[in-house]
Amino acid sequence: MLNQSTPLDRAFQALADPSRRAIVERLTRGPASVSELAKPLAMTFPAVMQHLAVLEGAALVASQKIGRVRICRLEASTLDRAEAWLNARRAEWERRFDRLGRYLEELQKEGGDDEARN
Amino acid sequence: MLNQSTPLDRAFQALADPSRRAIVERLTRGPASVSELAKPLAMTFPAVMQHLAVLEGAALVASQKIGRVRICRLEASTLDRAEAWLNARRAEWERRFDRLGRYLEELQKEGGDDEARN
DNA sequence: CGATTGGTTAAGCATATGCTTTTGTATCGC
DNA sequence: GCGATACAAAAGCATATGCTTAACCAATCG
């Protein structure tokens, strides 16, 4: 389990938690302070901070402190990279079905010949 | 940490591991036996089986045993649901930028008026 | 048949995760 | 300055995760 995790590992790992997904969801609608993010979550403030640390560690969220308030914003490009991975899998999957489709079409044609012979 | 995880939790959690992503990647190119999946991975056979159990638990993979061989195949619809979540976030994010864009356009127009007054 | 192949189960262990409470520490509003 | 506010850091704890080894079972194959 030697922790040598890639950016993609960290992104998916971060998104695997419903509280963290809720935070991401909120941040798609614009930046927010930590306490603003904490409000709808049924847990203590430090717990929310730890979730934010995970999200920042995954580069899904960035933040900057202004006065005593920390403003968090979404890092959409990281979300994109996760989506891109899934997209690539789907692309390969669909490519495979195309091939299968063409193969079955070929069978159909040949099958038609067979049927003609009956 | 009371384990009451949603399908999406389990999907993202499953995808957070590089070995499991490698398995998914392999399966997008067609079904495979367990030992076939295990071959490129630098770990013991039981470890691979545990990864497969996680993937099946997340409904990303399904399998059936024929004789003494277990054939695994991708459950693409679950991959789609994960992609759909990310897609929805991006949609909201882009909608927000549209609004921001229109807002800035408005400012531009009004700013033009202001400049005209100078 | 007996050996091999492909998979399964269980136990054990180190580290990671997701919380909590407690205790700070700046900064703002008066 | 002084109390309230917003965050921060640290310690503790229960459970989860990602491996390992060892033992086991059931289909093949020679």
Name the residue closest to the C1' of D5 by its CA.
A68
Question: In this structure, are residues B34 and B48 in contact, taking their beta carbons and an 8 Å threshold?
Answer: yes
Residue A42 belongs to some domain of the structure: yes
**Residues in chain B within 8 Å Cβ distance of A90:** 76, 79-80, 83
Structure confidence at residue A113 as a pLDDT band (50, 70, 90): very low
Smallest CA–CA separation between A38 and chain B, in Å? Answer: 18
Structure confidence at residue B111 as a pLDDT band (50, 70, 90): low
Question: Helix (H, G, I), strand (E, B), or coil: what is residue B62?
Answer: strand
**Which domain range does residue A47 map to?**
7-76
Q: What is the pLDDT of residue A117?
A: 43
Question: In this structure, are residues A82 and A36 in contact, taking their beta carbons and an 8 Å threshold?
Answer: no
In CATH, what number is assigned to the domain containing residue A39?
Answer: 1.10.10.10
Residue A102 belongs to some domain of the structure: no
A33 touches strand D (CB under 7 A): yes
**How confident is the model over A15-34, as pLDDT tens digits?**
999 999 999 999 999 999 99
Q: How far apart are CA B94 and CA A29, in angstroms?
A: 10
Computed over every residue of chain A, the mean pLDDT equals 89
Residue B12 belongs to some domain of the structure: yes
Nearest to B55 by CA among B34, B30, B86: B34
Residue B36 belongs to some domain of the structure: yes
Computed over every residue of chain B, the mean pLDDT equals 89
Residue B18 belongs to some domain of the structure: yes
**Residues in chain B within 8 Å Cβ distance of A99:** none
Rounded to the nearest 10°, the torsion over CA B51, B47, A57, B24 is -40
Q: How many domains does chain B have?
A: 1
Contact (CB<8Å) A76/B92: no
Query: Checking phi first, is residue A30 left (phi over 0); if not, alpha (psi -120 to 50) or beta?
Result: left
Residue A87 belongs to some domain of the structure: no
Distance D25 C1' – B39 CA (angstroms): 22
Specify the length of chain A in residues. 118
Residues 6+ apart with CB under 8 A from A25: B89, B92
Q: Where are the beta strands (DSSP E) in chain B?
A: 32-33, 61-66, 69-74
Distance C20 C1' – A47 CA (angstroms): 8
**How confident is the model over A39-50, as pLDDT tens digits?**
999 999 999 999
Question: In this structure, are residues B11 and A21 in contact, taking their beta carbons and an 8 Å threshold?
Answer: no
Q: How far apart are CA B45 and CA B47, in angstroms?
A: 5
Residue A50 belongs to some domain of the structure: yes
Residue A118 belongs to some domain of the structure: no
Q: How far apart are CA A4 and CA B99, in angstroms?
A: 40
Is A84 a residue whose pLDDT tops 90?
Answer: yes
Q: Could you tell me the maximum CA-CA distance found in chain A, to the nearest angstrom?
A: 85
Name the residue closest to the C1' of D14 by its CA.
B1
A68 touches strand D (CB under 7 A): yes
Nearest to A87 by CA among B86, B53, B117, B66: B86
More confident residue, A1 or B21: B21
Q: What is the pLDDT of residue A52?
A: 98
**Torsion sign (Cα): B19, B25, B26, B31:** positive
Question: Helix (H, G, I), strand (E, B), or coil: what is residue A63?
Answer: strand
**Residues in chain A within 8 Å Cβ distance of B30:** 96
